[in-house]
Structure 1
Amino acid sequence: MTSRRRFLTIMAGAALLGRAAGVAEWQGRVMGAEARLLIRAGRGSDEVLAGLRARIAAIEAAFSLHAPSELTRLNRTGRLEASGLMLGALRLARRMHGATGGAFDPGVQPLWQALAAGRAAGPVLPMGGLTLEGRQVRLAAGQALTLNGLAQGIATDLVAQALAPVGEVLVDMGESRAVGGDFRLALEDPAAGSLGQITLRAGRAVATTSPGALLFASGQSHVIGPQGQPPLWSSVTVEAASAALADAASTAFALMPAPAIRRVARDLGLGPVRLVDARGDLVTL
């Protein structure tokens, strides 16, 4: 994937909520980002972790922008016979594009590339230029996509599903999901610092987008709207039933005012949503 525009402000505590520390931990990298699993000791974690390699490889093969993948092939040729994994991601992207009034738009990839190279960008072709017919995907001329705004959430959900038989697990593939137990997490903002703790309940997921954590040489945030609009919040943290949904929502909400966020969160069944403004004040919707 492209350089990360997301600062991991959700930091896992060492123990399950209400239990003494005593977990098996795995750390690695998925799609160029740090990944972490916390699993209760004595539950066959080594065997299960070994079986995750195929799932992680499939995620990389679909969404990576750093290595050959379905996404790089689609951007290069403008067409693709997509896997089920890619089709699911594109359908979710379309859903979130419509729900957020266009704030969530993977079509920003050409704009992102131009800013990264320090050159002027042409107009962005929005998700409306994407055609899905069965397994066939086609882009409009000049269109390119990034799925950074939901791919790590999808990875988190897939790994969480695979680990469901293990017991109590915290999956952190860039976004976090609790499996089989509740976890206490520290909420942080890169500018405001510590903002206290939250409890992530079993079966729930959380994602944070922090626009100021990664900037272009110009000082502009890597979180950017399809018309070049800048982010409105220092960080946005969203809880949801899936990490993919939380991931996409936190990305879009960084560009949206609070009343619009409240409306979309209600319509999609998200929440709570925690917003940190430029002064470091925390607002919970």
Structure 2
Amino acid sequence: MTITRRRLISISAAWALMPVAARAATGSRHLWMGQAMGARASLRLAHPDAEAIAARVMAEIKRLEDILSLYRPHSALSRLNRVGQLEAPPFELLECLSLAGSVHWASGGRFDPTVQPLWALWAEAATQGMQPDRSAIAATLRRTGWKKIDIGAGIVTLRPGMALTLNGIGQGYVADRVAALLEAEGLTDILIDTGEMRALGGSPDGGDWSVRLQSERRVHLRQRALATSAPLGTTFDQSGRDGHIIDPMTGRPTSIAWRSVSITAPSAALADALTTAACLMPDRDSIDDMLRQFPDARLDSLS
């Protein structure tokens, strides 16, 4: 499997536009680079307490990964998938599932975190240089479907064989929570990058944060978030034809012709989920119909 994260924000542009900084004329500088929900993440602060603040951010990311990540076997999500039931689910998991449900219905079912068994099927076949056969896809499709989840305040229950992924919303959610933490610290004028971007205020130099997409288009952010999805940003096959975004209707990687979709919204979690859904939309009108249900969301780039 080809693991290339769906980051169409050019790395050179992102570094040129940073630092991720608090508004401070002077102060110590601290750079952290790591991972959040399987994607590279970075935080650069210029602040007298930069190192201590960065440590609190890192602790928050770790806490959230212990809830939402598929990459940690003892996370709340992994335990739910393994056992099929999770009592006293963390608030953050319920919040992600609630937003996922809203985007699921707004997208006509195209955004569906229950596709994880299909993703695993395609990933396993890819390790053998193959695609799954029709019968395997059909059988796995029967173990998916948002309506089959029972979500309550005290317990979340999956039917046998089901599993969830929050990879289409989790990076954005982490960015939102980091923004909330930094705002509680009294900081502003920060650009957070966890694979999706979340602007807390504007640029320390004045004006908005200006982020350049791979298409060369610039998106201006102030107290908003930006997410970009690309069906072929990660592929199962070495030839780069079978993308990582699975169509919950067919059980196959999307065949839609979009190379990338960028959406801005008040929250990075919402922008993240909407871009994933948009990659499965057959035309621009369908994307516009979905976005009308979220008045503060905007399609910024479609190619």
Question: For the Cα contact (< 8 Å) 2:18–2:191, is it kept in 1?
Answer: no
* RMSD, aligned CA: 2.4
Q: Does 1:133 align with 2:152?
A: yes
Quickly say closer, same or farther: Cα 1:54–1:196, change in 2 above 3 A: same
Specify the alignment match of 2:81 in structure 1. 75
Question: For the Cα contact (< 8 Å) 2:34–2:42, is it kept in 1?
Answer: yes
Question: For the Cα contact (< 8 Å) 1:6–1:210, is it kept in 2?
Answer: no
Q: Which runs of 5+ in 1 are unaligned?
A: 189-193, 278-285
Quickly say closer, same or farther: Cα 1:128–1:6, change in 2 above 3 A: farther
Specify the alignment match of 1:87 in structure 2. 94
Q: Does 1:216 align with 2:212?
A: no
Quickly say closer, same or farther: Cα 1:93–1:62, change in 2 above 3 A: same
Question: Secondary structure of 2:181's match?
Answer: helix
CA distance in 2, matches of 1:167, 1:146: 32
> Cα offset for 1:7?
1.7
When normalised by structure 1's length, the TM-score is 0.86
Specify the alignment match of 2:205 in structure 1. none
Specify the alignment match of 1:46 in structure 2. 51
CA distance in 2, matches of 1:32, 1:134: 27
Specify the alignment match of 2:194 in structure 1. 173
Q: How many residue pairs align between the two structures?
A: 267
Question: For the Cα contact (< 8 Å) 1:214–1:221, is it kept in 2?
Answer: yes
Specify the alignment match of 2:67 in structure 1. 62
Q: Does 1:273 align with 2:299?
A: yes
- Correspondence 1:115-126 to 2 at 5 A: 115-118=122-125, 119=132, 120-121=136-137, 122-124=139-141, 125-126=144-145
Match of 1:150 among 160, 165, 169: 169
Question: For the Cα contact (< 8 Å) 1:75–1:145, is it kept in 2?
Answer: yes
Specify the alignment match of 2:280 in structure 1. 255
When normalised by structure 2's length, the TM-score is 0.81
Quickly say closer, same or farther: Cα 1:43–1:205, change in 2 above 3 A: farther
Q: Does 1:108 align with 2:115?
A: yes
Taking only the aligned residue pairs, the percentage that are identical comes to 39
Question: For the Cα contact (< 8 Å) 2:60–2:178, is it kept in 1?
Answer: yes
CA distance in 2, matches of 1:138, 1:4: 31
CA distance in 2, matches of 1:138, 1:3: 32
> Cα offset for 1:86?
0.7
Note the alpha carbon deviations across 1:45-77, whole angstroms, 9 max, x for none.
222111123311211111111222111111111
Question: Secondary structure of 1:267's match?
Answer: coil
> Cα offset for 1:109?
0.5
Question: Secondary structure of 2:7's match?
Answer: coil
Specify the alignment match of 1:197 in structure 2. 218
Question: For the Cα contact (< 8 Å) 2:113–2:165, is it kept in 1?
Answer: yes
CA distance in 2, matches of 1:104, 1:14: 31
Question: For the Cα contact (< 8 Å) 2:103–2:274, is it kept in 1?
Answer: yes
Q: Which runs of 5+ in 2 are unaligned?
A: 126-131, 203-207
